[in-house]
């Protein structure tokens, strides 16, 4: 049988999935699946897999994990589609397990009692996600399939979270304790992060063009944006309080706009300052790295400088510019959480409140969506960059 090195034989056993599935099996049996807390602060009691879900549930999970383990080793036809379906169903059904757990273990007549997601569940979620990523990679799935899967899983989670079965979940308790605040935090977070990225993208583009037009500007501009990057983020937030406060009291117009020493204005400024370096550097490098023989040919064929820029340089630079945009966006989403310290709002509010009240569930209510946002932005921008590559990947 001829050996092909470029394409691994789809019938060869997979090495990654069995390791992940085996690890998941071990962890889900050895760690607490969930906990029941009598109220917000008291740690409460942990429940293992059997105690949480009963023998039936435990057997079902073990079977599914064992099944994917076997599917990935045994010489099976259509191994990866089968695995994909199995793991997706498992992922989509995860919240249902929490419903079962709550129904089995939550004490009656204890209005403050809550269910808390345990380490076993988190590990299961994490390892299953890794398995999906591995299987999707093996299938060489196009953008549509991962998006569809994500939508399916997210929809099933949303439906279950909105239903009654999970009311006792600690995260939802925290969510319901401050109605409307979560959504407000989401919008503030998005507005700050994406506002900063948008502003810095425009600024960076202008700066990069300036540097290309007049090379004398390269050192000062790159030096300045690199310097901005080296100041610790907390220090920037702090440093901006005094000048912005002074500005606002000097110009009442600014005050009317909501510019103060604390709040969104210093946060946005600091985020823009941080976003500049990756954006400027990527935009500049992308636009100057166009091979000379291409611009030479373009000019020699009679293109004007404008046509060379818009038809040749910009399209070729786009994937690298988007890569800069991706790094910047992820960084801005994370930093926006810190900006809550100077009263900018966003998910950071929950994190710092939770830390102050020693309520880990509240911390998670802020941290989990921040992570989800960052992952989502990363995935979407990676796909965008890939779709803009000049030559199709399956060339």
Partner 1 sequence: MIELKNVTRRFGDTVAVDGIDLAIETGEVCVLVGSSGCGKSTTLRMINRLLPHSSGEIRVDGKDITTLNPERLRLNMGYVIQGTGLFPHWTVARNIALVPRLLKWPQARVDARVRELMTLLDLDPDTYANKYPAQLSGGQAQRVGVARALAADPNILLMDEPFGALDAITRENLQLEMLRIQRQVRKTTVFVTHDIDEALKLATRIAVMDQGRIVQHDTPENILRHPASEFVENLVGKQDRGLKLMSLRPVRELMTAHARPRPATPGADALGEDDSLREALSVMLCRNLTQLPVCNGRGEETGVIARERIIRDGV
Q: Which stretch binds partner 1 (CB under 8 A): 235-243, 279-287, 301-309, 359-367?
A: 301-309
Contacts (CB under 8 A) with partner 1, residues 365-394: 390-392
Question: Which C-beta is closer to partner 1: that of 46 or that of 319?
Answer: 319
Question: Which C-beta is closer to partner 1: that of 230 or that of 391?
Answer: 391
Question: Which C-beta is closer to partner 1: that of 119 or that of 303?
Answer: 303
Binding residue for partner 1, selected from 196, 298, 333, 338, defined by CB under 8 A = 298
Q: Are 201 and 332 in contact (CB under 8 A)?
A: no
Nearest approach, Cβ of residue 316 and partner 1 (Å): 6
Dist CA 18 CA 71 (whole Å): 9
Question: Which C-beta is closer to partner 1: that of 139 or that of 316?
Answer: 316
2 scored as a contact of partner 1 (CB under 8 A): no
Provide the 10 A C-beta neighbour count for residue 256: 9
Question: Which C-beta is closer to partner 1: that of 276 or that of 317?
Answer: 317
Nearest approach, Cβ of residue 310 and partner 1 (Å): 12
Question: Which C-beta is closer to partner 1: that of 127 or that of 321?
Answer: 321
Provide the 10 A C-beta neighbour count for residue 77: 8
37: which strand partners?
A: 114
Positive or negative CA dihedral for 130, 346, 274, 232? Answer: negative
Non-local CB neighbours of 116 within 8 Å, separated by 6+ positions: 34, 35, 36, 37, 44, 169, 170, 361
Binding residue for partner 1, selected from 62, 150, 299, 379, defined by CB under 8 A = 299
Binding residue for partner 1, selected from 151, 297, 358, 376, defined by CB under 8 A = 297
Nearest approach, Cβ of residue 262 and partner 1 (Å): 47
Considering CB under 8 A, how many residues would be counted as binding partner 1? 21
Binding string to partner 1 for residues 302 to 341, with x set by CB under 8 A, is what? xxx--x---xx--xx-------------------------
Q: Are 278 and 196 in contact (CB under 8 A)?
A: no
Plot region of 214 (φ>0 → left; ψ -120 to 50 → alpha; else → beta):
beta
Binding residue for partner 1, selected from 294, 358, 368, 372, defined by CB under 8 A = 294
Q: What are phi and psi of 142, to 5 degrees?
A: -75, 180
Question: Which C-beta is closer to partner 1: that of 30 or that of 311?
Answer: 311
Indicate the angle between helix axes 79-105 and 49-73, nearest 10 degrees.
Answer: 180
115: which strand partners?
A: 36, 169
Q: Strand pairing of 45-47 and 114-117?
A: unpaired
Nearest approach, Cβ of residue 159 and partner 1 (Å): 43
Binding string to partner 1 for residues 239 to 278, with x set by CB under 8 A, is what? ----------------------------------------
Beta strands in 50-198 (DSSP E): 114-117
Dist CA 193 CA 336 (whole Å): 6
Q: Are 37 and 118 in contact (CB under 8 A)?
A: no
300 scored as a contact of partner 1 (CB under 8 A): yes
Dist CA 101 CA 165 (whole Å): 10
109 scored as a contact of partner 1 (CB under 8 A): no
Interacting residue ranges for partner 1, rule: CB under 8 A: 291, 293-294, 296-304, 307, 311-312, 315-316, 390-392, 395
């Amino acid at each position: 049988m001829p050996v092909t090195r470029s394409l691994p034989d789809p019938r060869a056993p997979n090495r990654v999935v069995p390791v992940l599935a085996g690890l998941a099996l071990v962890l889900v049996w050895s760690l607490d699946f969930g906990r029941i807390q009598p109220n917000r602060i008291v740690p409460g009691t942990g429940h293992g897999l059997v105690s949480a879900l009963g023998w039936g549930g435990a057997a079902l999970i073990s079977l599914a994990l064992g099944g994917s383990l076997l599917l990935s080793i045994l010489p099976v036809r259509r191994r990866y589609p089968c695995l994909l379906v199995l793991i997706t169903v498992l992922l989509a059904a995860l919240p249902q397990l929490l419903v079962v757990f709550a129904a089995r273990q939550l004490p009656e007549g204890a209005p403050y009692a809550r269910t808390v997601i345990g380490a076993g569940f988190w590990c299961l979620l994490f390892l299953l996600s890794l398995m999906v990523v591995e299987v999707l990679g093996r299938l060489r799935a196009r953008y549509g399939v991962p998006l569809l899967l994500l939508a399916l899983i997210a929809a099933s989670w949303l439906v279950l979270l909105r239903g009654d079965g999970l009311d006792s979940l600690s995260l939802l308790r925290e969510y319901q304790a401050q109605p409307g605040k979560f959504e407000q935090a989401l919008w503030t977070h998005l507005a700050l992060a994406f506002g900063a990225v948008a502003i810095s993208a425009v600024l960076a583009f202008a700066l990069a063009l300036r540097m290309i037009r007049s090379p004398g500007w390269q050192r000062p501009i790159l030096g300045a944006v690199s310097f901005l990057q080296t100041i610790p983020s907390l220090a920037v937030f702090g440093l901006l309080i005094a000048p912005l406060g002074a500005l606002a009291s000097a110009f009442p117009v600014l005050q009317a706009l909501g510019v103060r020493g604390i709040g969104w204005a210093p946060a946005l400024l600091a985020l823009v300052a941080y976003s500049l370096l990756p954006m400027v550097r990527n935009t500049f490098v992308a636009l100057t790295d166009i091979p000379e023989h291409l611009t030479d040919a373009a000019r020699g064929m009679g293109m004007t400088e404008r046509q060379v820029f818009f038809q040749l340089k910009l399209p070729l630079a786009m994937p690298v510019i988007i890569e800069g945009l991706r790094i910047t966006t992820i960084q801005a989403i994370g930093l926006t959480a810190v900006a809550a310290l100077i009263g900018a709002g966003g998910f950071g509010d929950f994190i710092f409140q939770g830390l102050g009240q020693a309520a880990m569930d509240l911390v998670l209510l802020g941290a989990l969506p921040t992570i989800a946002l960052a992952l989502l932005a990363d995935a979407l921008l990676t796909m965008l960059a890939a779709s803009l590559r000049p030559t199709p990947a399956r060339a």
